[in-house]
Amino acid sequence: MEDELKLLGGAMVTLALATAAFIVLPFFQVKNLAAPAALHPYTTAQLRGRAVYIQNGCVYCHSQQPRDKAQAPDDKRGWGRASVAADYVFDKPHLLGTMRTGPDLFNIGARQPSADWHLAHLFQPRAYTAASIMPAYPFLFDVKGAAEPGDRVVQMPAGFNPIGNVVVAKAEVLDLVAYLQALDHTYPVRAATQP
């Protein structure tokens, strides 16, 4: 019985130390982190677009965390500076991603500011990159014989527009594009101080 108590006590102490080291201390380190001056909260449309981003599993293939030059050549890929904790003040939940099947989207709003590009890319990714493995999202669009007043017609590259029809963006994809355009973290940040 004494061995079981020692084992249980040791397990509890180990769990307490791990909790303190990996949860409690980091919480107090970033608890009062201020957002950079150029970072703004998401608008209502951008928040709806963020929900569409999550619902369609974009986070499974795209990260939103360029790494430091010492860890990876993300800056040479054109993805911008390395992210810092303050960049995610308004992100709940954080969509850092775990894989990079597709490019990092931390600064996609700066790299591709055109709403037309985003809309056409979401309707048919291979219109821009022939070997792209990104799925198309045609269910976020309507294909009509003619546009109606108030429709947002997608300008497709030559050869990708449905013959005799127009592609019209639904509200969900317009919100998604608003979110993607908001992913612009090109503002300067203060370098973190070493402890």
Is residue 194 situated within a structural domain?
Answer: no
For 68-111, write each residue's pLDDT tens digit: 888 888 878 888 888 888 888 899 888 988 788 889 999 999 99
Domain limits at 175? 44-182
User: Which tokens hold the place of 102?
Assistant: 């597709």
CATH code of residue 146: 1.10.760.10
Q: What is the pLDDT of residue 195?
A: 44
* HSE-CB of 52 using CA atoms within 13 angstroms: 21
Residues 2 and 98 occupy one common structural domain: no
Q: What is the pLDDT of residue 179?
A: 97
Residues 4 and 73 occupy one common structural domain: no
Which of 51, 33, 48 has the alpha carbon at shortest distance from 90?
33
Residues 26 and 53 occupy one common structural domain: no
Residues 51 and 125 occupy one common structural domain: yes
Instruction: Indicate the pTM of the whole model.
Output: 0.82
- Describe the strand order of the beta sheet including 166-169 as a list of residue ranges: 141-144, 166-169, 152-153
* Spans of the chain, pLDDT less than 70: 30-31, 190-195
| Residues shown for the chain | 195
